Chain A
Amino acid sequence: MTQGEGGDLPREGAGWRELPPGGIILIPGGSERYTTGDWRTSRPVWHRERCIQCLLCWVYCPDGAIRTEDGKVVGVDLRYCKGCGICAAECPDKARAIEMVPEARARREGV
Chain B
Amino acid sequence: MAGQATATDQKKAGGRRLALTGNEAVALAIRQVSPDVVAAYPITPQTDIVQYVASFVADGLIDTEFVTVESEHSAMSAVVGAAAAGARAMTATSANGLALMWEVLYIAAGLRLPVVMAVVNRALSAPLNIHCDHSDAMGARDSGWIQLWSEDAQEAYDNLLQAVRIAEDPRVQLPVMVCLDGFIISHALLNVEVIADEAVRAFVGEYRPAYSVLDPDRPVTVGPLDLYDFYFEHKRQQAEAMRTAPEVIREVARDFARVCGRGYDLVEGYRMEDAEVAVVALGSTAGTVRHVVDVVRAEGWPVGLVKPRVFRPFPADEMLSLLGRLGAVAVLDRSDGMAGRGGPLFAEVRSALYRLAEGRASGRSPVTLDFVYGLGGRDLDPVAVRRVYARLREVTGTGKPGPEVTYLGVRE
Residue of A5, A21, A25, A27 touching B237 (CB-CB under 8 A): A21
Contact A19 B234 (CB under 8 A): yes
**What residue of chain B has the Cβ atom nearest to residue A28's Cβ?**
B219
Are B233's CB and A22's CB within 8 A?
A: no
Contact call B240/A16, Cβ cutoff below 8 A: yes
Contacts of A23 in B (CB 8 A): 110-111, 223-224, 226, 230-231, 234
User: Is A30 interfacial (CB 8 A cutoff)?
Assistant: yes
A6 to chain B, nearest CB (A): 10
Q: Is B222 an interface residue (CB 8 A)?
A: yes
> Interface code B236-262, partner A: CB below 8 Å = 1, 0 otherwise?
111011000000000000000000000
* CB of B208 to closest CB in A, whole Å: 15
A111 on the B face (CB < 8 A): no
Give chain B interface residues in 183-242, CB to chain A under 8 Å: 210-211, 218-224, 226, 229-234, 236-238, 240-241
CB <8 Å contact, B220 and A24: yes
Cβ 8 A contact of A26, one of B220, B232, B234: B220
Do A21 and B210 touch across chains, with their CB atoms under 8 A apart?
Answer: yes
Tell me if B29 counts as interface (CB < 8 A to partner A). Answer: no
* Chain B residue at minimum C-beta to C-beta distance from A13: B229
Shortest CB distance B376–A (Å): 37
B160 in the interface (beta carbon within 8 A): no
Complex: A14 Cα to B220 Cα, angstroms? 19
Chain B residues at the A interface, C-beta cutoff of 8 Å? 110-113, 173, 210-211, 218-224, 226, 229-234, 236-238, 240-241
Q: Point out the residues of chain B lying under 8 angstroms from A92, CB to CB.
A: none
Assess the B230–A19 pair: CB atoms within 8 A. yes
Return the contact of B230 from the options A10, A30, A31 (Cβ within 8 A): A10
- A25 and B112 within 8 A (CB): no
Complex CA–CA separation, A5 to B219 (angstroms): 10
Q: How far is the CA of A27 from the CA of B238 in the complex (A)?
A: 21
What's the least CB distance linking B218 to chain A, in Å?
7
A-B contact pairs, 28 of them (CB 8 A): A12-B229, A14-B230, A15-B233, A16-B232, A16-B233, A19-B230, A19-B233, A19-B234, A20-B211, A21-B112, A21-B237, A21-B241, A22-B173, A22-B222, A22-B234, A23-B111, A23-B226, A23-B230, A23-B234, A24-B220, A24-B221, A24-B223, A25-B220, A25-B224, A26-B220, A27-B219, A30-B221, A31-B224
Q: Which of A16, A28, A31 contacts B234, CB < 8 Å?
A: A16
Q: Chain B residues with Cβ under 8 A from A20's Cβ? A: 211
Q: Are A22 and B111 in contact (CB under 8 A)?
A: yes
* Supplied contacts A14-B230, A24-B223, A31-B224, 5 more A-B pairs, CB within 8 Å: A20-B211, A21-B173, A21-B237, A23-B110, A23-B234
Establish whether residues B218 and A24, one from each chain, have CB atoms under 8 Å apart when the complex forms: no
Whether A19 touches B218, Cβ cut-off 8 Å, given contacts A10-B230, A24-B211, A26-B211, is: no
Contacts of A27 in B (CB 8 A): 219
Inter-chain contacts of B218 with A (CB < 8 A):
5, 26
Chain B CB within 10 Å — which of A10, A21, A22 has the most? A22
Sort A-B residue pairs by CB-CB distance and give the 3 closest, nearest first. A22-B112, A16-B233, A25-B221
Most buried by B among A5, A10, A14, A25: A25
Within 8 A of B (CB), among A1-48: 5, 10, 12, 14-17, 19-28, 30-31
Q: How far is the CA of A17 from the CA of B173 in the complex (A)?
A: 15
CA distance A15 to B229 in the complex (A): 11
Known: A5-B218, A26-B211. A16 touches B236 (CB 8 A): yes
Q: Would you call A22 and B110 a contact (CB within 8 A)?
A: yes
Which residues of A have CB within 8 Å of B229?
12
Q: Across the interface, which residues of A come within 8 angstroms of B220, CB to CB?
A: 24-26
